[in-house]
Amino acid sequence: MMASNFELFAKQMVSPIKFKMFLLSKLPSAYFSGVRIKSINENKCEVTVPFKWFSQNPFRSTYFACLSMAAEMSTGALALGHLYKRSPAVSMLVVKTEGEYFKKAADKTTFVCEAGEEINKMIQEAVATSEPRTVRVRSIGKNEAGDLVAEFYITWSFKSKKVIS
């Protein structure tokens, strides 16, 4: 059975060497902060960010920007997976981020986004209509004890690059 484009993308994202090379070349701050994809499939992505020297703030918790990076990656990786090797190509852009913090992030935080289906639907609509589409998706971050640390909403815009003749 032939793997889907999403499955090919996911395989690269969970490969430690390929993912580290991707981060170093495209998102070096995420690499140095320790942001990593724990798991990914067509509907769900889990991303972790550790509490360590490079990701901490002066208050001995994970810096909000590192938490935000992990939350965005949990949503963006789903979008990238649905766009991988897609024809026509589709551009993607974050147009809004919203975050709320509930508990001090003093250990590894795992962000989960389960909006792959919604993201894919907006990508398909952007291609079908040749008009930009946006989708607001949720990512929740929990600590190792399972307590809610933060909740983010990331709004993505998708625009088909197909040429209209």
In a domain, 74, yes or no: yes
Domain that holds residue 28: 5-160
Q: How many domains does the chain have?
A: 1
pLDDT at position 52 is 86
Count of Cβ atoms closer than 10 Å to residue 100 Cβ: 9
In a domain, 165, yes or no: no
Find the range with the poorest average confidence among 15-19, 38-42, 82-86, 111-115. Answer: 15-19
Non-local CB neighbours of 123 within 8 Å, separated by 6+ positions = 79, 82, 83, 86, 90, 133, 158
For residues 74-98, b (16+ Cβ closer than 10 Å) or e, as one string? bbbbbbbbbbbeeeeebebeeeeee
- Asked if omega into 28 is within 30° of 0 (cis), the reply is no
pLDDT at 96 over 70: yes
pLDDT at position 56 is 83
In a domain, 55, yes or no: yes
pTM of the model: 0.91
- What rounded mean pLDDT belongs to the chain? 91
In a domain, 137, yes or no: yes
Alpha carbon 118 to its chain centroid, in Å, reads 14
* Residue 124's CATH number: 3.10.129.10
In a domain, 151, yes or no: yes
Q: How confident is the model at residue 1 (pLDDT cuts 50, 70, 90)?
A: low
In a domain, 11, yes or no: yes
pLDDT at position 11 is 87
How far, in Å, CA of 131 to CA of 116, rounded? 20
pLDDT at 164 over 80: no
